[in-house]
Chains A and B, each alone.
Chain A
């Protein structure tokens, strides 16, 4: 049997909006992936620790507060320090388009806007991992 793709869905920072995170988590599960949801208020350290411990293939970051400009670089830096920058990182939420390039330069593979179908995210992850 083919190994299931494993995804960590994470909520960095103090943002409490997790409808999107939970809907995506369930959608990915129904698409056959193994999904771990961190819950709210995760620090960059906690997220990277969970990702390494759970040995995930992908981290999905969900943020609507605007704090991504500080938190995402921290997460990417720590992944590198843990020698796990092989884990593909994707993001979604309210992330202004002006910031997308900067985030991609950090190594974030994709930034999904509100309204993205789950199937598109599933396809992206499958392509990225395989």
Chain B
């Protein structure tokens, strides 16, 4: 049908059918808005796709700009990796949880570290008090990592580590543990988060200022491109930006803008873009608005491909592919009527699968109340298995393509995110935009608007502002971290310090210092040597703090 004819028939439908019915019966609301506040029309038709060219903007899976997926077969060859984020207490307990999850059919590991580890403090540091083993596992030295991966074949599993400022130290430890298992670095598969920019924006586990932080990151890019070709050197994360309160488009735009900053930093030190770009990976949030989320994932792939080709002149297809992990939204979990969260997680996970994610973490229903139990984690994993095996959503590639609504949203998201990126370019790039507070202000404003919408019931949250119950059932048997963990961890650290060769530790730390002082040297090599001597995370971080200084956040 020609567009002209379609315009006529659509107008005819609108005037004679739709408007008439609205006039008679009305609609539920005066205006329908998506989760991110964008107006939703009553109907989408082929007319909404007028500006979209199938081959140029969508194309086939595995073909630029990869809107339909990065691989030609997607889940028909292999399901996404089911990767539950876990870690608590000491290395031994977490090792047991990992082995339990692998026994239950999980296909990859994801390590949660405690906050002292993430901020480069040893467990006996005064600021670590009360925090050891709480939000993740406590790691002080190589000895802890040896226990963490005991009897887990590192040649077979892929491991993701949520570690940013001290990423190089944890990566070094992982490599050395693998080496002791007889697995060489080139065989290791996994990811380090290593995304400092979103720490300044949203997550808060920064140590050093932006400039030396970017240097540590590009050192990792360079090291891995030579020694660990299967390792994802960074996971550029929108997840935490969304959790901090951004909307879907901001999540997309700020994540891609962070990516641009990292690629630029590596290009600036003379790296060839096709040498490191294939190992960049991404991490997104799956929130409640099913269609917006699917569109966001599809738009992300297209946007990154266009950025890599147009801005950085990447040649390899792999350099242009946005591969990503997804986690369902922690902020969407409610403390009220917590079992409802199982349904929320299911729908969020569905959006990630329909959006073509490479790996997925599904949250446990009790996480607004405390640490998840083994049982609730199991339900979360089973949710993924049900999606994979029972729903058919993994059997054809990109099943939402061609939906007038989803395609038009995808295209709109690409365009709106580009406008944000232009604005960030005008501010001098993402590091500058963070420094001047632009990004944080945008997110805070959005977070506050969301809260207001919940309070005036413009946004209904079941069990929270509608369908509430007086006495919601309390979650039973929440997992508790043994209060003795901190003491045991500190005792263990003391023992290691007594056993190791202090002279060798000092020499190794001196080499880290030397490398930190000379721009041309890659920090990874001396860090690996220091780790082998059982230097602690705190000791190595302190050497770098001494040289690089510490970041001070400004509050807006």
Residues of A with Cβ closer than 8 Å to B? 13-19, 22-23, 26-27, 37, 39-41, 43, 65-67, 69-71, 94, 96-98, 113-115, 117-119
Q: Are A23 and B245 in contact (CB under 8 A)?
A: yes
A23 CA / B243 CA spacing, docked (Å):
13
Give residues of chain B (471-502) contacting chain A, Cβ–Cβ below 8 Å. 474-475, 478, 481, 483
- With CB as the reference atom, state the residue of chain B lying closest to A17: B204
From residue B53, how far is it (CB to closest CB) to chain A in Å? 39
In the complex, B527 has a CB within 8 A of chain A: no
> CB-nearest residue of chain A relative to B115?
A14
Partner of B130, one of A13, A27, A41, A97: A13
Contact A14 B335, CB 8 Å, known A19-B245, A19-B447, A67-B134? no
- A65 adjacent to B335 (CB under 8 Å): no
B127 touching A14 by the CB < 8 A rule? Answer: yes
Residue of A with least CB distance to B369: A96
A68 → chain B closest CB, angstroms? 8
Q: How far is the CA of A17 from the CA of B202 in the complex (A)?
A: 7
**Closest residue of A by beta carbon distance from B246:** A19
Tell me, in angstroms, the Cα distance from A17 to B451 when the chains sit together. 16
Q: What's the minimum C-beta distance from A30 to chain B, rounded to whole angstroms? A: 9
Supply 27 A–B pairs (Cβ within 8 Å), ascending by A. A14-B115, A14-B116, A14-B119, A14-B121, A14-B128, A15-B135, A15-B204, A16-B115, A16-B199, A16-B205, A18-B204, A19-B447, A23-B444, A27-B448, A41-B127, A41-B204, A66-B135, A69-B130, A70-B131, A94-B368, A96-B369, A97-B474, A97-B475, A114-B333, A114-B335, A115-B336, A115-B464
Name the CB-closest residue of A to B440: A22
Chain B 321-373 interface residues, beta-carbon cutoff 8 Å to A: 331, 333-336, 367-371
Chain B nearest CB from A74 CB (Å) reads 8
Complex Cα spacing A69 to B244, Å: 25
Given known contacts A16-B204, A118-B451, is B134 in contact with A66 (CB within 8 Å)? Answer: yes
Is B49 positioned at the interface, with any CB of A under 8 Å from its CB?
A: no
Given contacts A14-B127, A37-B555, contact A114 B368 (CB under 8 A): yes
Residues of B within 8 A of A13 (CB): 115, 130-131
Instruction: Tell me, yes or no, whether B455 is within 8 Å of chain A by CB.
Output: yes
Interface of B is mostly: loop
Q: A26-B448, A66-B135 are in contact. List 18 more A-B contacts (CB 8 A).
A: A16-B205, A17-B203, A18-B204, A22-B448, A23-B444, A40-B204, A41-B127, A41-B204, A65-B135, A66-B481, A70-B129, A94-B369, A97-B474, A97-B475, A98-B478, A113-B336, A115-B334, A119-B455
Beta-carbon contact of B369 and A22 below 8 Å? no
Residue in A14, A37, A39, A118 whose Cβ sees the most chain B Cβ within 10 Å? A14
**What B residues does A65 contact at CB under 8 A?**
115, 131, 134-135
Report Cα–Cα, A27/B130, bound state, in Å.
30
* Interface residue B288 (Cβ < 8 Å from any Cβ of A): no
A118 to B555, CA, bound (A): 21
Compute how far the CA of A119 lies from the CA of B131 in the bound complex, rounded to whole angstroms.
Answer: 31
Partner of A94, one of B205, B370, B553: B370
Given A66-B135, A70-B129, verify A118-B455 contact (CB < 8 Å): yes
A69-B447 contact in complex given A14-B127, A40-B204, A114-B334, C-beta closer than 8 Å: no
Min CB distance B87 to A, Å, is 13
* C-alpha gap A43/B128 in the complex (Å): 10
Q: Which residues of B contact A67 (CB under 8 A)?
A: 115, 130-131, 134
Say whether chain A's binding surface is mostly helix, strand, loop, or mixed: loop
Q: How many Å lie between the Cα of A41 and that of B134 in the bound state?
A: 16
Measured CB to CB, the nearest residue on chain A to B451 is A23
The reply to whether the CB of B143 lies closer than 8 angstroms to some CB of chain A is no
The listed residue (B130, B451, B464) touching A71 by CB distance below 8 A is B130
Shortest Cβ gap from A104 to chain B (Å):
16
Is B115 within 8 A of A15, CB to CB?
Answer: yes
Residue of A nearest to B203 (CB): A16
The answer on a CB contact under 8 Å between A19 and B131 is no
B265 within 8 A of A: no
B152 at the interface (CB under 8 A from A): no
Q: Which one, B131, B199, B478, contacts A14 given CB within 8 A? A: B131
Known: A40-B204, A97-B369, A114-B334. A23 touches B199 (CB 8 A): no
What is the CB-to-nearest-CB distance from B529 to chain A, in angstroms, rounded to a whole number? Answer: 28
Find the A residue at minimum CB distance from B481.
A66
Tell me which residues across on chain B come within 8 A of A17, comparing CB atoms. 203-204, 243
**Inter-chain contact B335/A40, CB cutoff 8 Å:** no
Task: Chain A residues near B127: list those with CB within 8 A.
Answer: 14, 41, 43
Query: How far, in whole Å, are A22 and B556 apart by their CA atoms in the complex?
Result: 10
Q: Contacts A14-B115, A40-B204, A118-B451 given: A66-B199 contact, CB under 8 Å?
A: no
CA gap between A14 and B117 in the complex, in Å: 11
Chain A residues with CB under 8 A of B157: none
- B204→A23 contact, CB < 8 A: no
**A contact residues around B555 at 8 Å (CB):** 37, 39
Q: Quick check: A27 and B451 within 8 Å, CB to CB?
A: yes
**Cα separation A87 to B335 with both chains bound (whole Å):** 28
Q: CA–CA, A26 to B478, complex, Å?
A: 32
Q: Tell yes or no: B461 within 8 A of A by CB.
A: yes
> Which A-chain residue is minimally distant from B336 (CB atoms)?
A115
Chain A residues with CB below 8 A from B444, complex form: 22-23, 26
Minimum CB distance partner of A38 in chain B: B555
Contacts of B116 in A (CB 8 A): 14
Output the nearest chain B residue to A96 by Cβ-Cβ distance.
Answer: B370
Picked from A40, A96, A118, the residue with its CB within 8 Å of the CB of B553 is A40
Determine how close the nearest CB of chain A comes to the CB of B77; give it in whole angstroms: 38
CA distance in complex: A97, B204 (Å): 26
User: What separation, in Å, do the CA atoms of A66 and B114 have in the docked complex?
Assistant: 11
Q: How far is the CB of B158 from chain A (nearest CB, A)?
A: 26
Contact partners of A118 in chain B: CB under 8 A: 451, 455
Interchain CA distance A40-B245 in the complex, whole Å: 17
* B-side contacts of A113, CB under 8 Å: 335-336, 368
Are A22 and B447 closer than 8 Å at their CB atoms?
Answer: yes
CB distance from B361 to the nearest CB of A (A): 17
Q: Which residue of B lies closest to A70 (CB)?
A: B130
B127-142 interface bits toward A, Cβ cutoff 8 Å, 1 = contact, 0 = none: 1111100110000000
